[in-house]
Structure 1
Amino acid sequence: MTRVVIHEPAGVRELGLPIRVGGTTACDVRIPGAGSVETLCFERFDDALRLRIDGDAAIRLNGVWMAPGAFREPRAGDVLFVGDARVRLAAVGETLELCVDHAASNDTIEPVRAPTNGPRDEEQGDEQIVPAKLVFADELEEDGTGSFGRRRVLWIAFAAVVLLVFTLLLSFKKIPVTVEPLDARVRASGLSWHAGNALFALPGERTITARRVGYVEYRKMVDVRADAPTLDIRMEPLPGQLLIDSRGVAAEVLVDGAPIGRAPGEVAVRAGIRTVTLRAPRHLDATRRIVVKGMGQRESLQLVPQPYWGKLAVSVTASNASLSVDDGAAIALPTTLDLPAGLHRLSIRAGGARPWQGTVFVKAGETLSVGPLTLGAPDARAKIDSNPRGADVTLGGAFRGRTPLDISLTAGLPQELVVTRAGYGPVTRRVVPGAGERLALSFDLPVIAVRLALQGKPADAEVSIDGLVRGKAPLAVDLPATRHSIEIRAVGYQTFATEIDLATATTRSIDFELTREGRPAGWKPPAARIETPNGVALRLLPNGTYVLGSERREQGRRANEFSRTVTFERPVYLATREVTNAQFRAFRSTHASGFVDRRSIDLDAMPVTSVTWLDAVQYCNWLSEREGLAPAYEQRDGAWLLRQPATNGYRLPTESEWELAARYAGPEHKLRRYEWGDALPPPAGDANLAGSEAAGSLPTVLDGWQDEYPSVAPVGKFAANFLGLQDMLGNVSEWVNDTYASFDSPGAVKDYTGPASSGPRHVIKGGSWRTATFADLRAAWREGADAAAQNIGFRVARYAE
């Protein structure tokens, strides 16, 4: 730490950094004649000592002017001129020595006065006039003492003085000045006078001062010369002296949010509209907006902070009780506390009694009494376990944790414990614990069995479930309705591993085809489920040969339907849900699906509608590029077509793929006529169709149907089909890849992508919220469209490899 030793005319003293030197009351070293603008500061900055000009006026250092805000490293021997004093740096280092020399000086020279004939009292109103003796020339001739020679010397001296004064007057330079207030007294160091809007001073660097009662003294260093610019002097009014009466409350005084002093007492406040705040412990802030006159005038203000603390008295009937307020330290009861006004959390504990908790509101200046409270009997404790462990435990309908678990129970009250776990049936037990009783409860959960069928190639593959060998494929086993890990292995084949969740408690199946050994390193069969970076889930469609479309004798068959045999060899994924407005707007931010009967169908979770087939194709290419896949579509001869050979980029599903996904019911079953089965009607609430809730906006509706949605519903609101796909039956119809042809019977085909010809119309599949005919719910139903509509959306597909 640097010691600062100050040598002043009044003596020697020591200070610590930082120190300020100048003419204001805030300065550590007061300099006469410095005013409020000549201030310098010695401080430590970045572990180095520096000298900084802190005021609004320049200061001379070693004869060179330093501008306001300038700084430099101080050196021993430096000399600064501040006001009417000289500050010399005697030593700089571990000890900083400052020598302050005050100098007496006058800004002006008194005018020459004629000699008087006697003493004159300035306080007298009259003055004595004494006639002077006249001396004539003849008397001079008679005077032989040589007084004539002395007169000549006097005349010469007088002439020299006149010449000197005249020369001095010619040396004065005029400085144009504007002063506010107008009656301020303006002077320059040395000889000067102020007349009107001009200040006359000798040339060179001069200190200009302006003084007026009620204003801070103005000081500025100016270079006086013939072409000196106009000097604009705006004097700052002195702050007002505000005497604050706080009725004895010791408080901090803040003006416009900045602390300036303490109350009660007197503080200096700048003139103008000010917000005065008194802040005191255990009191509310007292604030008032006032107008301060300033100009050094004294004004009075009475402002009293109001107490915001109250008292809280707490007692209980139990002995050895303790109180905790707002989770603080325990306090023995009974007790009376001082607390801030407002809400407080109380916690009371006593041996052999039930803890008590509550919230109280304490009012300022008032006493709140709580009690005497009677604490209840202590809670019981229960250790709960289950087989298997990890089961959820609820008490009185509230979740309390998972087994094994140790919880408290209210003594003397009947309570219902329910233990549940996915894949197992719930177990309920009613208990009435005694005060302080400790219970040990164990629950055996019954298994909920779900049938899982596994089949595929090779037929003799070994099947392991959750690490245990369960037999050879094909295999059907009953398993708990929870998640299971499946491994299928065979000699000469790579092991296939997957997981399946049977929580839906419905019969499930797994079709597999093991990959022979010798494949490239890292090769894996396509996963049963994948997900895009923007959250779109896709499921793998089954391979095989299927007869799609409708037979001639099928009830409800339309003229544009036909039968075809399609073999699916290349594995393909299909999205489980339709593309939503939010997902499509990530590609095209300006898209809006619109309104139906003044109800928006443009919500983020709803399927995107009002899109053309080309809009859907361009979205697929954008999604492919976003994931680094080769785009599936290209433009040839003005038409958008699938690239050949087809890439694994995102695309629209083909009509054949869409229909297979809607009708598939497992390898042991034939394809269904409808998504839910082969017979009408559909299960109640199974899809978003033209139900009774849309009767006001549609010309016809399905008789007896109701699904709660008068138009478009958010995606995923209805049950999934066998392959885990949702909204295939209703909500919105969907664009597929195929060009529409009223008749297209290509015979037996493989990985069929639709007619080779291109045209303006493309196939749409699946019912929608406007579908009002049961025949149109068949998976074979198809229609052609060439424009966007509010009941047409799409979902994406892609080849697995």
Structure 2
Amino acid sequence: MQMSEFNQAIEAAKRQQRRMLLWLGLGFIVVACFVAAALIASRATPIQVLPETINQDAQINVSRGLALIIDHHLYSLSDSAEVEASAPGYQTAKQRISESSFGKVTQITLEPLPAQVVLKTSLEDNKTSWYIDKKLTAISNTLETSLERGDYSITASHPYFEPISENYALKPGDVVEKTLSMTPISGELSLSTQPAGAAVSIDGEEVGQAPMSTSLPGGRYSLQIHKAGFETITDSIDITQTAKQVSRQYRLQAERARVNVSVSPVGGTLTVNGIDTPVADVIKIEANQDAVLKYKKSGYFSQSQRVNLKQGESTDLNFELKKEMGKVVIESTPQASVTISGKAIGQTPLNLTLDALPQTIRFDLAGYRSETRTITPTAKSTSSVSVNLLTEKQARLQEAPRSYKTYAGDEMQLFTANDTIIMGAERSEAGQRANEFIRKVTINRPFYAGVHEVSNQSYAQFDKSHSGGPNLPATSVSWLEAVRYANWLSQAEDLTPVYKINGNSVTHINDQADGYRLLTEAEWEWLARKAGRSAQTVFVWGNDKTIPPKAANIADESAKGSVTHYVPRYNDGYAGVAPVKSMKRELSGLFDMGGNVSEWTHDSYSLTVPKQGRTYSQTLDTTLVDEHVVKGANWRSGTLTELRASYRDGASQPRDDIGFRLGRFVYGGQ
């Protein structure tokens, strides 16, 4: 019978499928043979897991690379392989095996995992002490710890229970979880009273009369001992491992009287017969005796009450204090605004009635320093508060020290003159120069002046490259470098700098600043000729042309031959520059204005003739020129002209006989 075309097609498909399966089977056999040949061709690498006790149980797997593990041997088709070894109770470890190690025994050491121990008690007071091998490890209801393998003795100890000790042989990775059942200790309480027969209650339950003994498990207990006609005694005891036998003896006190106290306002102080007593609803007092109870609180009139009660008797006392007020008169000069405890009240003068409590009174007036006073008014008398307000300048002057040392170490002295100086000299004065113009200047702004010229030691803190004897005046310093030093010192002391310097020039002078500066020419001349004197003088030491001993370091006999002019029959002890303060203190209280080195001043050097009849004020010259006024004689000075205090010169370059002295206003502004 001939098959249909459809059946013929199905039969053909089946034959084709059988042929495909045959070829796949042959391919698998070829690949298997190839792999087997490769494995045989490669060298087997034995893997040993340490410690040896876990080698047989360890699991080894390939984690990276084309390789197989067969019976703890690595067969690798790649250049290297990474294997992972694991065993129960040990940390998993990985190790890379390179081609150079193929065929050799590879050891992988596993680190043991710690055993986890969790021991609990049924207690909840966190007083259980846990000891591991007799060493205190924790105080808690539960012990949670990790331990290395080994043998351990673990003890749980509680003050009220018998200790429990258990031994554990721990292996790596062990987990021990257990709840320990603790047995209360057994103790005994022995109790007696005088007089005997008092009822005894333990934790609120009456258990007998004293004297008595009773067995108690470990724990803390509240005792009450009460007997008619006597005060109840309350006490507590502990039955513990170290104190299983507890003995108590009580002497009963006769029952006292009771005072039920109420107070208003609260927060005061209660005394009984002069002894401070905590304010409570019930106060116990001795029976059949006078007792004075006093209640007091700040701002209120205190109140006292006397009682005498029989044994066991009680009474009620109520203290209601009345607020105490006091009259206060508040005045100020000049008139000012007043705030009391932060609340604005009005303008002085004021007549007020205030609570008898500490009152903080503040006085404020624009332009004046605020003042604060604290008083406690009283009903017994009128209190008064009176203040004289100072302007901010007056206050700062009052606070200003008479002298102080600068940040760099030089001393400054305060001058508070209200005076005038006639600067310069008349044509008729011997030695007078044409540039010594007559000028009248008022000196009325408080200012500080350096007690001596700035020393090398001080200046070198600003300019590290500067050298010279530490106590000698700083010389060969330009006017610009001198004012740079003044600005540096101002900034170091948080004062407002006077000079604004841009590059190598001063671009602005702040005449309202309180920082350091050079003395003005007028200040310098006032200090040299008028300060500390009843009338101004020609020379620093006075009007006598004969120089007193040690009055100034000038060109003396020792300078003969090294200077053009010298002063005969005078010897100051120094042929050249001298350390600061080597000569006598001058009438102003300063040193070395009459000699040693000449000094830069703040002022620009000018030959402008002052206006006749005009009085100039003590202000800072704000003109900006290269040449500045130099004042004072120096160790090279030997003529009458140079030794006079009115002598002035102009300079623009530093010299080895010019130094500088600092000044500063006590406060900024006019």
TM-score tier after normalising by the smaller chain length: 0.3 to 0.5
- The structure with the largest helix share of the pair is 2
Q: TM-score, normalised by structure 2?
A: 0.40
Larger relative contact order, structure 1 or 2 (CA cutoff 8 Å, min sep 6) = 2
